[in-house]
């Protein structure tokens, strides 16, 4: 099997886990590929590649938290490559391998003893003078906010070209069901099972009582117009990639033309994971 490994360079335990992963895989004669900058940082130049998309890997393995996995998904999803995550972060809703079960789950990957969940992704575009320009893709969410002083911005929301709302808020979150447990949850949005193919539109601190989060069909097109503001606004993709919105540019968000393929194992139950992670989150907050 050809495996691409993506360790998080900022996690203190990444090197230790990467050592274990490489030792396990080399003993089983797997082909290993690591992006050049990461390979140099961790001392594994022997596995370095300057273009991992040309190596024909079978699986991408992230080492970090959910954020690391999201970045790898955005990279590999357009090429139909499944991704699995080793969780050394805090919560880890998506990264399915805990450190304590590392060798067991790696063996399951090598023997094909896993399932692949296809997760809806989002595509964000900027529209000006009837021309569309791709701004980016997201697994969890695309967030529109101001980038300067914390002031509300005017927003006009259209769903399939029908005007639904005209309000002032701190911003707007468009998320997939996978992303319902991310930023949207903090903003008052519902929890949605990621197997449900819907989109979620959640306003951030709206200055209007009637505006509430909306669950819409996955096929609907979301158009957002920023009104009555001199502030710089931007789109953020999965909390990682940022794209500024220029003057007179509208935002169009819709389902991406491909899905994220995330490796899962039969001994994992979504609701059990959800409960455990949310309880852990509350416990961590109480201890801080």
| Structure confidence by residue, pLDDT tens digits, 223-245 | 999 986 678 899 999 999 999 99
**Catalytic residue numbers, as ranges:** 66
- In the chain, DSSP assigns E strands to 2-7, 31-35, 48-49, 59-64, 83-87, 97-98, 115-119, 122-128, 131-138, 141-146, 153-159, 162-169, 171-176, 198-204, 214-217, 222-227, 233-237, 241-245, 250-255, 260-264
pLDDT band at 185 (very low <50, low <70, confident <90, very high): very high
Q: Given a cut of 50, is residue 285 above it in pLDDT? A: no
Give the DSSP letter of residue 38: H
Distance CA 205, CA 185 (A): 13
Cα torsion 227, 232, 236, 239: sign: negative
Mean pLDDT of 104-125: 96
pLDDT band at 281 (very low <50, low <70, confident <90, very high): low
Q: Which of 94-98, 113-117, 278-282 bottoms out in mean pLDDT, i.e. has the lowest?
A: 278-282
Distance CA 102, CA 97 (A): 6
pLDDT of residue 143: 98
Q: What angle do CA 70, 71, 77 make, to 5 degrees?
A: 80
CATH architecture observed for domain 122-255 = Sandwich (2.60)
Q: What is the pLDDT of residues 126-140, one digit of tens each?
A: 999 889 999 999 999
130 contacts: CB under 8 Å, gap ≥ 6:
none
pLDDT of residue 106: 97
Instruction: Look up residue 62 and give its two tokens.
Output: 């992230």
Q: What is the pLDDT of residues 144-174, one digit of tens each?
A: 998 866 678 999 999 999 999 888 899 999 9
Instruction: Compute the mean pLDDT over every residue in the chain, rounded to the nearest whole number.
Output: 91
Q: Which fold has domain 2-119+259-287?
A: Rossmann fold (3.40.50)
Do the beta carbons of residue 61 and residue 21 sit within 8 Å?
A: yes
Q: What is the pLDDT of residues 68-92, one digit of tens each?
A: 999 999 999 999 999 999 999 776 7
Buried b (16+ CB within 10 A) or exposed e, 88-98: bbebbbbbbbe
2-119+259-287 with 122-255: one CATH topology?
no
End-to-end Cα distance, the chain? 43
pLDDT of residue 92: 72
Distance CA 179, CA 238 (A): 9
For the chain, what are the domain ranges? 2-119+259-287, 122-255
Provide the percentage of residues in the chain whose pLDDT is more than 70.
94
């Amino acid at each position: 099997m050809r495996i691409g490994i993506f360790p998080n360079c900022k996690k203190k335990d990444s090197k230790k886990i990467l050592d274990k992963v490489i030792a396990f895989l080399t003993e089983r004669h797997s082909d290993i590929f690591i992006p050049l900058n990461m390979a140099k940082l961790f001392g594994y130049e022997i596995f370095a590649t300057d273009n991992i998309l040309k190596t024909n890997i079978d699986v991408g393995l992230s080492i970090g938290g959910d954020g690391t996995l999201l970045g790898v998904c955005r990279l590999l999803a357009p090429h139909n490559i499944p991704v699995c995550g080793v969780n050394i972060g805090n919560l880890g809703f998506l990264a399915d391998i805990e450190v304590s079960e590392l060798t067991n789950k790696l063996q399951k990957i090598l023997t094909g003893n896993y399932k692949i969940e296809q997760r809806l992704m989002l595509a964000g575009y900027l529209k000006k003078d009837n021309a569309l320009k791709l701004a980016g893709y997201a697994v969890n969410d695309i967030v529109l906010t101001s980038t300067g002083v914390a002031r509300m911005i005017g927003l006009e929301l259209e769903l399939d070209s029908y005007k639904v709302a005209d309000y002032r808020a701190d911003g707007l979150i468009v998320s997939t069901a996978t992303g319902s447990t991310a930023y949207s949850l903090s903003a008052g949005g519902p929890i949605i099972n990621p197997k449900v193919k819907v989109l979620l539109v959640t306003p951030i601190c709206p200055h209007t009582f009637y505006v509430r989060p909306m669950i819409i069909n996955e096929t609907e097109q979301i158009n957002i117009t920023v009104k009555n503001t001199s502030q710089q606004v931007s789109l953020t993709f999965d909390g990682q990639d940022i794209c500024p919105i220029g003057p007179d540019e509208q935002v169009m968000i819709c389902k991406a033309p491909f899905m994220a393929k995330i490796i899962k194992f039969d001994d994992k139950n979504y609701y059990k994971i959800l409960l455990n992670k949310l309880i852990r989150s509350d416990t961590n907050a109480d201890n801080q």
